[in-house]
Chains A and B, each alone.
Chain A
Amino acid sequence: MLVEMKGITKEFGPVVAVNNVDFKIESGQIIGLLGENGAGKSTLMNVLAGTFLPTKGEVFIDGKKKVINNAQIAKECGIRFIHQELNLCNDLSVLENMFLAQEITNKGITNTKEMNRLCTEVFERMNVNIHPNENVGNLQAADKQLLEIAKSLLFKSELIIMDEPTTALSTNEIENLFNIMRQLQSENVSFIFISHKMPELFAVCDNYYIMRDGTYVANGKFKDIKESEITKLMIGRSLADDSFANKIDYSCDEVVLSVKDLNSELFHNISFDLHKGEILAITGLQGSGKEAIADALFGAEKYTGEIRIGNELIKSNSKIIKYMKKGIALVPRMRKERGILNDLSIYDNLSIGFINTKFKKLLISSKEENARFDRQKKAMRIKVGNPNNPITSLSGGNQQKVILGRWLETDAKVMLFDNPTQGIDVGAKFEIYHLILELAKRGKSIIVFSAEYPEISKVCDNCIVLYKGEIAANIKRDKLNEVDVMKYSTGLTGEEKTND
């Protein structure tokens, strides 16, 4: 099957996510689709899988024009998109999941025998050992991944799109997955493989296809290119604006937060010191464990190891309120789900931190709440009409400022920012960066957890790069550059490798 996309453009309101892109994949090809976060990879694939209808452009299958306007049509064309978050029902059996909503029936009664036969046939073809009656919830992450592939084969898919399928898999499981992919490749099944991990891409893909800022950048064969060249092509943007170039480093010698041998399932042997006034960035790709570390430092995720504020050890796995009272604050990722209290007023959202840590009286006075609010409104330049309105009436940037204000009222010494500009427009992003710098100037110690290089390069004094839950590098600001960060976070340790 030959799939061609011609002149695809996809706009979301004023945002152009994909701009006039041509893409082609032949049968039996494995293409590695590369690009930074927000480069338009997922959008393009969603167009192919029928999730989005393109604003402009056409899709051709075997030379014939096809309008793929929903996922069902894509499936009928033999195209399957396996998302990063797998769409499986954990409480149902493997068999039930395989045929979910497409059960084979005989006069309304499901024909288990036939389904069993087909299922076993596919498993045999893939050479995997999964029992059809097993509960999906009991399967390993790798088996679930294979199950999704089996499901696509079951319905005669000829093109399988996989979005970062290896994040939850171990090295052996990845190798096994690749073997199955290669075997299916020889049976003329083609794959589009979205990943950030260079070694894997070089191992399994024939061709690369690189996108940047919604446009096509380059394609070719992996065997003709070096990893560092790919990285350069992916980044390629003009240098970040200068207003942060002369950032002053406010770090003092005094160690405020000291982390020693922090371990959990998701990260290993994390140790570092954070100084007064320092801005530390912790970066890494999906699955690098940076989110888990952010939560662990705030007591929201289990860990072993030592976290000290000044010289005081915080007993591991205490309640979050303990960490708060010792002076740690977390501006969480996914503001809508984990940050704001959506039914509550702007006032209440701001004052809840203070009330939890410092408030000792019986009754809350609205006068004091007002004073607190006005102080933060001025400091943060929050644009707000009536603070009694629900917080959801504010824009994303202003909501984030309210959350920030919540923590400033607790007089936190260490502020953790986990993906602080998620879903915030560019202007507000810069405001948040300036606020972060201002806080450092006032002597706060700050850790920014982010996967976006432009973000960390603006604010950080030091940068820790994670790979698979471990510290791969600790880079000072004057040595910081995007190519190195990308290298370390994709698992390269310095020496270059080519695929020969």
Chain B
Amino acid sequence: MIKNIKEINIKTLAKKVVQDYSYWLSFVLLVIIAASMNPFFFTWNNITNIFVQSAMIGIIAMGMSMVISAGQIDISVGSQVALLGGFGIQVLNATNSPWIMLIFCVLGGAIIGTVNGLLVSKGHMPAMVATLAMQTTCRSIINFYGQGGPFTVKRELYDSFRQIAVGGIEIGSIKIPFMMIIFIVVSIIFAIIMKRTKLGKHIYAVGSNETSARLAGINVDFVKTIVFTITGMCCGLTAVLYASRLTAVASANAAFGYEMEAIAAVAIGGTAMTGGKGKITGTFLGVLMFKIISNILTSADVSSFLNGAISGTIIVVAVLLQNFQNKKK
């Protein structure tokens, strides 16, 4: 055994690292660049900031990772957040309970996601078409109820509700923000689901080869549906965080472009857009990388109006690199 390990050529080892852990390499590279531009990069404050800023996209990206690993795609996530957030605030205002709001949003997300999933699995629709229809439907419903304007949290709840997004646990002099904790916990749950549960194995199997998966006894339709359901639930959780952070959900442009940012994060994380391959750690780092890149660009005075162009470029570059790598093999 030991002999075997020694025999492994350093060159092949390096090749394997580059192939399987390229997202770690790019992450380290990116951190070095960012640190050289920003002397305060390694301060606790800055690090927690990156996590807090990443949390919302990050939670959606976890669901997106699942959907893409199953060979599907969901471009309705941004609109789902807007719809659930808007109605969620009304539930909050009516009940005064953020917990009821959370249950409402997560359940609502599960329902929307399941509809997406059934359209794809039972309706045999391409995921792109089904979720595009869901995207415009959700956005237009929330626009209709909000008459284009925002849904705002009522004054009395303002301070307490905002704590979810800005609060944290203080240990001595350092503060760990709730957003950061939620993001990390969700990521760990997803990592475990994808790596160590039956569902995770099934998702990769379906994304890899549907026919083979079916003949191995996997309920392909169920898998295709549940990935959308779970993504919907992620949108529900994100909707609560979004409402808390902004204390208002503007129906027309809330969470606009989240689908592209989430897909970009999954892509730089090394998940294959064709399904079957990918790691949650990759997506986790992908989300952070995405945020670091946009922070670098912001500090270089690049307008935030260019966010869409940035995520578009990142997706294209990441997928091109993946394809290039696969071809070389």
Give the B-binding residues of A (Cβ under 8 A): 298, 300, 319-321, 324, 330, 332, 337-344, 348, 351-353, 355-357, 359, 362-365, 406
Chain A residue, CB-CB nearest to B272: A343
Shortest beta-carbon distance from B63 to chain A in Å: 20
- Inter-chain CA distance A364–B193, complex, in Å, is 10
Are A364 and B215 interface neighbours, CB within 8 A?
no
Shortest beta-carbon distance from A355 to chain B in Å: 5
- Interface-centre pick from B211, B212, B213, B217 (highest chain A CB count, 10 A): B217
**Residues in B neighbouring A319, C-beta threshold 8 A:** 219
- Inter-chain CA distance A348–B213, complex, in Å, is 12
Q: Quick check: which of B139-147, B199-207, B300-308, B317-325 contacts chain A, the rest being far away? A: B199-207
**Residues in A neighbouring B3, C-beta threshold 8 A:** none
A-B contact pairs, 18 of them (CB 8 A): A320-B215, A320-B217, A321-B218, A337-B211, A339-B212, A342-B212, A348-B201, A348-B205, A351-B201, A352-B201, A353-B217, A355-B198, A355-B201, A356-B216, A362-B197, A363-B192, A365-B196, A406-B216
Chain B residue, CB-CB nearest to A300: B215
Are A341 and B212 interface neighbours, CB within 8 A?
yes
Given A344-B208, A363-B192, decide whether A339 and B215 contact each other with a Cβ distance below 8 A: yes
Are B212 and A340 interface neighbours, CB within 8 A?
yes
Instruction: Apart from A343-B275, A352-B201, list 16 A-B contacts with CB within 8 A.
Output: A298-B215, A300-B214, A338-B215, A339-B212, A341-B216, A342-B212, A343-B207, A343-B276, A344-B201, A348-B201, A352-B217, A353-B216, A355-B201, A356-B198, A363-B192, A363-B197
Given A320-B214, A343-B276, A348-B204, decide whether A337 and B209 contact each other with a Cβ distance below 8 A: yes
Shortest beta-carbon distance from A14 to chain B in Å: 25
- Inter-chain CA distance A332–B209, complex, in Å, is 14
**Residues in B neighbouring A365, C-beta threshold 8 A:** 196
- Inter-chain CA distance A362–B276, complex, in Å, is 22
**Residues in B neighbouring A342, C-beta threshold 8 A:** 208-209, 212, 276
- Inter-chain CA distance A356–B202, complex, in Å, is 9
B277 at the interface (CB under 8 A from A): yes
- Inter-chain CA distance A406–B275, complex, in Å, is 22
Shortest beta-carbon distance from B194 to chain A in Å: 11
- Inter-chain CA distance A319–B214, complex, in Å, is 10
Shortest beta-carbon distance from A213 to chain B in Å: 33
Give the A-binding residues of B (Cβ under 8 A): 192, 196-198, 201, 204-205, 207-209, 211-219, 272, 275-277
From A337, A352, A362, contact of B216 by CB (8 A): A352
From B198, B204, B209, B277, contact of A340 by CB (8 A): B209
Shortest beta-carbon distance from B231 to chain A in Å: 21
- Inter-chain CA distance A332–B214, complex, in Å, is 11
Shortest beta-carbon distance from B280 to chain A in Å: 15
**Residues in B neighbouring A362, C-beta threshold 8 A:** 197
- Inter-chain CA distance A180–B299, complex, in Å, is 78
**Residues in B neighbouring A357, C-beta threshold 8 A:** 217
From A300, A343, A353, contact of B204 by CB (8 A): A343
**Residues in A neighbouring B211, C-beta threshold 8 A:** 337-338
Are B217 and A321 interface neighbours, CB within 8 A?
yes
- Inter-chain CA distance A330–B217, complex, in Å, is 10
Shortest beta-carbon distance from B80 to chain A in Å: 28
- Inter-chain CA distance A355–B192, complex, in Å, is 16
Chain A residue, CB-CB nearest to B207: A343
**Residues in B neighbouring A340, C-beta threshold 8 A:** 209, 212
**Residues in A neighbouring B209, C-beta threshold 8 A:** 337, 340-343
**Residues in A neighbouring B272, C-beta threshold 8 A:** 343
- Inter-chain CA distance A356–B201, complex, in Å, is 10
- Inter-chain CA distance A431–B197, complex, in Å, is 34
Please list the 8 inter-chain residue pairs (A to B) with the smallest Cβ-Cβ separation, ordered nearest first: A343-B276, A343-B208, A356-B217, A321-B217, A341-B208, A324-B217, A363-B196, A343-B277
- Inter-chain CA distance A363–B213, complex, in Å, is 20
Given A342-B208, A343-B277, A363-B192, decide whether A330 and B197 contact each other with a Cβ distance below 8 A: no
Are A332 and B201 interface neighbours, CB within 8 A?
no
Chain B residue, CB-CB nearest to A340: B212
**Residues in A neighbouring B277, C-beta threshold 8 A:** 343
**Residues in A neighbouring B196, C-beta threshold 8 A:** 363-365
Chain A residue, CB-CB nearest to B20: A388
- Inter-chain CA distance A341–B192, complex, in Å, is 21
- Inter-chain CA distance A351–B201, complex, in Å, is 10
Shortest beta-carbon distance from A58 to chain B in Å: 37
Shortest beta-carbon distance from A228 to chain B in Å: 39
Shortest beta-carbon distance from B203 to chain A in Å: 11
